[in-house]
Structure 1
């Protein structure tokens, strides 16, 4: 019998060399994918911009929680449970806000009412003066004011201004309440947050990272404590000076000076200007004396008090502090200026403990 021939193995299909049509990219597909990427990035930026206020609230609350943690630990050393220490700190913050509002709102309301009551008589005296009559004859001041007041848009502008002021007050109250609630939750869960954060680091490096992280938290707390001490001292000095000079709003202006002193670089100047203007309304010469006093005290605070208080809080060169505060203020405004100096202190600590030793070993 004749053996059957085995079938030939199937030959692979012949490959043709690539032509220009096969090598040409699909420009439509590339453009479509690129447009989707740009659109996704734009939507992400818009979402982050819309949620900027929420991120700012979270940053401020976390900053306050870390800064107030040394106070909580001090209360715990007095054998208070953590929840009682947190509750005591929160009650202290609320009490300060209540005292601040109580000291600010009644005098401000009284001044506005007094101004509104004396406005007609002040205008009559102004109209009777020779200077105003000559000014009205030249530029028709009364006619222009009457035209603005009797215009149809004047009522809408006044109403819109009142609505705008009310909206600003409501937003400020909402922001303050939100930050207080977030600070409460962060203070309660700060040890857990730190432990979870350290678990993202490999076990072999976790001890060193924990040591640096704990020192950063300690420095932030020391910075806030130092700022509060400097601000409180400025408020006490302002109260004593204004009380001795016979100012009727010594406590109110002292609280304004203390709160504005928390703003880096320009806070003390803002408080001095506000207090001097408030005093100058009743007595211009005394207002000038007040301004001179605060300028002298500002120099003492900047070159004597603050360096001694902050010596162990933030071990950062003053030039770095000023640069960080300016950059933080340009990026996030007042919040950025407040967060910039502790951030610079944390980066300086990382450079000294991690980066520079490794560079020396090479």
Structure 2
């Protein structure tokens, strides 16, 4: 290789190293762009319905968002925080109840296999359930310490939300700036590519924005449906703390695969304290709700959205969580949506397809 080629390779490596070191700032910037796209989607919806100018639609959108936040801060968040703290306090008792059921089940299986004695299953029973000072069965010390440390980590995570106030202000400020002048910032992104490709790249960025808008509208509708269905089902089953569990089901529905699984832990824990059958009924309810969301609600509200393969979605969640941390998990799906658009348009349509046609004609 010549000196110029080595210099170009060195520049590429240095750019990749710089991007890796700035990955946390880049994920915050992408979060701001997603928030700005959500606001622009709301502005476009208001303009199409009212036929007003963009500045007026932007003011109406900001007023609507502020009104929703005010209602949530005064009506929704206080009872949710209270019920969520009760949920966390019930987790150790629910774990103890579950282990007690496992211990009884193992004892019955042992009696069926080995007779009246515990037989060879005693080591498994003792490993799951220990004894307290009085000899009564209870949580094993290792499991108790694990639950305590897990609760402390949750509290630490809640405290870390306060320390991330500066990042939240940054995301909101950048989102508002982009929402005020989206076309100007779009042109800044277009200028980053060579002049002969700017028209095509502008089209690809617009397609990414349309895909993000479709994703956000679909996720909002499906999350609302999941929360409402969960609230109705939990109320019919007589499970306590319905509001917190339904709100968690709707919020965690944003995170595919992992979120719906996590949302079942809390209502099943509360139901298990009442009766084991109720916990099984809650599990069946959430499975039914997720199937309705996957096969009925999502296809009907996201028929214009890109079709993401489940394996691709799960891989994106793992990859972006490793690279960007917890925020990468939350933004894995919008990142995957934009990545799929760019791969389809830039790599496949603009590079691979012309090369294939060239090979066929040659």
Mapped partners of 1:246, 1:236: distance in 2:
15
In the alignment, which residue of structure 1 is the partner of 2:66?
91
Pick from 43, 46, 63: which aligns with 2:34? 63
CA distance change for structure 1 residues 300 and 201 in 2, over 3 Å: closer, same or farther? same
Gaps of 5+ in 2: 1-9, 94-128
Q: 1:164 offset after TM fit, Å? A: 4.3
Mapped partners of 2:130, 2:187: distance in 1:
75
In the alignment, which residue of structure 1 is the partner of 2:4?
none
Q: Does 2:54 align with 1:81? A: yes
- TM-score when normalising by structure 2: 0.66
Q: 1:308 offset after TM fit, Å? A: 4.4
Pick from 77, 83, 86: which aligns with 1:101? 77
Q: Does 2:287 align with 1:295? A: yes
Q: 1:112 offset after TM fit, Å? A: 7.7
In the alignment, which residue of structure 1 is the partner of 2:209?
217
Pick from 256, 260, 274: which aligns with 2:266? 274
What SS class does the counterpart of residue 306 from structure 2 fall into?
A: coil
Q: 1:252 offset after TM fit, Å? A: 1.9
Instruction: Give the count of matched residue pairs.
Output: 296
- Give the conservation status (yes or no) of the 8 Å contact 2:23–2:324: no
Mapped partners of 2:289, 2:330: distance in 1:
26
- TM-score when normalising by structure 1: 0.66
Mapped partners of 1:190, 1:57: distance in 2:
18
Mapped partners of 1:298, 1:172: distance in 2:
32
Mapped partners of 1:217, 1:192: distance in 2:
14
CA distance change for structure 1 residues 345 and 47 in 2, over 3 Å: closer, same or farther? closer
- Give the conservation status (yes or no) of the 8 Å contact 1:86–1:188: no
In the alignment, which residue of structure 2 is the partner of 1:31?
none
Q: Does 2:109 align with 1:136? A: no
Gaps of 5+ in 1: 1-36, 119-131, 149-156
Q: 1:68 offset after TM fit, Å? A: 3.7
In the alignment, which residue of structure 2 is the partner of 1:255?
247
Rg larger in 1 or in 2? 1
- Over the aligned positions, Cα root-mean-square deviation in angstroms equals 4.3
- Give the conservation status (yes or no) of the 8 Å contact 1:316–1:344: no
Mapped partners of 2:131, 2:268: distance in 1:
32
Mapped partners of 1:170, 1:181: distance in 2:
18
Mapped partners of 1:193, 1:332: distance in 2:
24
